[in-house]
A and B are shown apart, each in its own frame.
Chain A
């Protein structure tokens, strides 16, 4: 049996090394696609951050308060003049909020309390949400600075006015925020494990049926289980190669491609890569086995491709479903292939605790999947409908 497994595996590996279809798929999915998407995503993140940081505010009547203009300038805020009919435009959601400094500001400011207006439309929060927050914080800052100066001028400690000192403590670490955005890494790697082996998984099953090589193959005095295991082993080895290449792709992208703002939030340690590897190295063979099982029902490559595409679709949707349904990390997810892996890899990326059960449970599930698939395919290969049913 062992000799059969080795012979079949060797043959399938050689056969598919020469297959441009498999090679192209592996290259595109693992070496190129991941890093490309990562690059695109980081560019996107960078642009979003830039927008959030770009502090441009609209001020009407800036000549009325050199103090405010001065304060804004020190905060690196650029002041822009609003359009003349800004009130109407804000109502229509076509203008960002505006700070209005009235003419009498300077006079009232020197004598006591001056007034400014923040013009916005809270039913149009979508367009001005960022700017109104910025404006409000700026004015609070200005207020605090001015009052502190006045207290000091009167010889009173500014501490007196601070009964409660509120400090922001953001519990989300930078790594967690990055993981939220970089869900794409587990998604792409796991998807790569599935679609990277589709071509070979179909070729060793439905492909044999289509080209009429299954019947003579089964005439060899070897067990069906040996044949199927050998084929599965080749598929699994390809899966592992894809998984490894994908990770190398990410590692190279993260370490050698200068990505703005990324290095600080996302650096994956060797230990984390190791965690990825353990997770994917059982997932890839299981997905290969599953696709082989599905493809065995296909009389032609194309037919099998249609069947397998449902699985790929389900796997691609899993992260979206998990996000939309807002699954909290729960043990049941570990029982579901893809969801379990996704959860573990995301935890690793977030820097959260990953225990033995996180590795063992999905591994056990995947191992069972492989075994069941191999047994079922071996059974199918005794069925006349499968052996002789050609298109």
Chain B
């Protein structure tokens, strides 16, 4: 379970994240939906211990990320848009490196790896050096590498960015599998259909704040629109509209 309370982060004069609060439950897929620059990535990076939290609270399985970052890192697997792999090493060696860094026993990591090989159809690329891998192949290595320690919480930042249809589909299947195993899956996206198709709970972030939260149908209902896309536009613009009204007044 991932719990975030009143999370804030400021870069200079820019309030990137301005009091975000939400909960991503175990055995569910939570989507962070928002336009570019809304604060999704910053929120994820704070949860993932990559940047310091200005104020507020982030808990992963009740581990406070600010107090015990290593505990938080063990409890979650994070895939950001940095999916660089070591090109002179094979996919397997790349993954094993991370398993060793996390102190996962070889036998255990091989077992986990075997599952992923099947799920992501990685048999042919596993013992090839990653030099010249396609984006999809690199993503597969990066995601297995991030999850090789079998974390109970999985955070994916715009995971389908730049992927072809086949890879996107493989990734969606993986996300569903992780959910069915009872893990907390949270991912950010600005692709409406993806979020609608996968998520149990959608959190709309705009201008560093949560503007709406709920299931697809709840959000549509909330906005009074016909579909999620219109609902998204209406809901992510809530703040702007409010601000405009205020100014006008």
A contact residues vs B (CB 8 Å cutoff)? 3-4, 7-8, 11, 14-16, 18-19, 208, 210-216, 218-222, 384, 387-388, 390
B98 touches A213 (CB 8 A): no
B101 touches A8 (CB 8 A): yes
Q: Assuming A11-B97, A212-B84, A215-B82, is B71 touching A221 (CB within 8 A)?
A: yes
B83 touches A216 (CB 8 A): yes
Instruction: Give every chain B residue within 8 A of A213 (Cβ-Cβ).
Output: 82, 84-86
B84 touches A219 (CB 8 A): no
A220 touches B89 (CB 8 A): no
A-side binding surface: helix, strand, loop or mixed?
helix
Instruction: Give every chain A residue within 8 A of B156 (Cβ-Cβ).
Output: none
Residue of chain A at shortest CB distance from B41: A388
A220 touches B98 (CB 8 A): yes
B83 touches A220 (CB 8 A): no
Nearest CB of A to B101, in Å:
4
The interface-forming segment of B47-55, B230-238, B240-248 is B47-55
A219 touches B48 (CB 8 A): yes
Kindly state the separation between the CA atoms of A220 and B147 in the bound complex, as whole angstroms.
11
Instruction: Give every chain B residue within 8 A of A219 (Cβ-Cβ).
Output: 48-50, 73, 78, 146
A211 touches B73 (CB 8 A): no
A15 touches B88 (CB 8 A): yes
Kindly state the separation between the CA atoms of A257 and B48 in the bound complex, as whole angstroms.
60
Total residues of chain B contacting the partner, CB 8 A: 32
Add 5 more A-B contacts to A7-B100, A211-B84, A216-B78 (CB < 8 A).
Answer: A3-B100, A11-B86, A15-B89, A216-B84, A388-B50
B contact residues vs A (CB 8 Å cutoff)? 45, 48-51, 69-71, 73-74, 78-89, 93, 97-98, 100-103, 142, 145-146
Instruction: Give every chain B residue within 8 A of A210 (Cβ-Cβ).
Output: 84
| Listed residue (A219, A220, A387) with the most chain B CB atoms within 10 angstroms of its CB | A219
27 contacts between A and B (CB under 8 A): A7-B97, A7-B100, A11-B97, A14-B89, A15-B89, A16-B88, A19-B88, A208-B84, A211-B86, A211-B87, A212-B81, A212-B82, A212-B83, A212-B84, A216-B78, A216-B84, A216-B142, A216-B145, A219-B49, A219-B73, A219-B78, A219-B146, A220-B73, A221-B74, A221-B102, A222-B70, A222-B101
Nearest CB of A to B134, in Å:
15
Kindly state the separation between the CA atoms of A175 and B147 in the bound complex, as whole angstroms.
64
Nearest CB of B to A213, in Å:
3
Kindly state the separation between the CA atoms of A270 and B93 in the bound complex, as whole angstroms.
42
Kindly state the separation between the CA atoms of A390 and B80 in the bound complex, as whole angstroms.
14
Closest 6 CB pairs of A and B: A212-B84, A213-B84, A211-B84, A215-B82, A212-B82, A221-B73
Kindly state the separation between the CA atoms of A222 and B101 in the bound complex, as whole angstroms.
7
A15 touches B86 (CB 8 A): yes
Instruction: Give every chain A residue within 8 A of B98 (Cβ-Cβ).
Output: 216, 220
Instruction: Give every chain A residue within 8 A of B86 (Cβ-Cβ).
Output: 11, 15, 211, 213
Residue of chain A at shortest CB distance from B87: A211
A215 touches B101 (CB 8 A): no
Instruction: Give every chain A residue within 8 A of B146 (Cβ-Cβ).
Output: 216, 219
Nearest CB of B to A226, in Å:
9
Instruction: Give every chain A residue within 8 A of B84 (Cβ-Cβ).
Output: 208, 210-214, 216
| Listed residue (A8, A211, A221, A390) with the most chain B CB atoms within 10 angstroms of its CB | A221
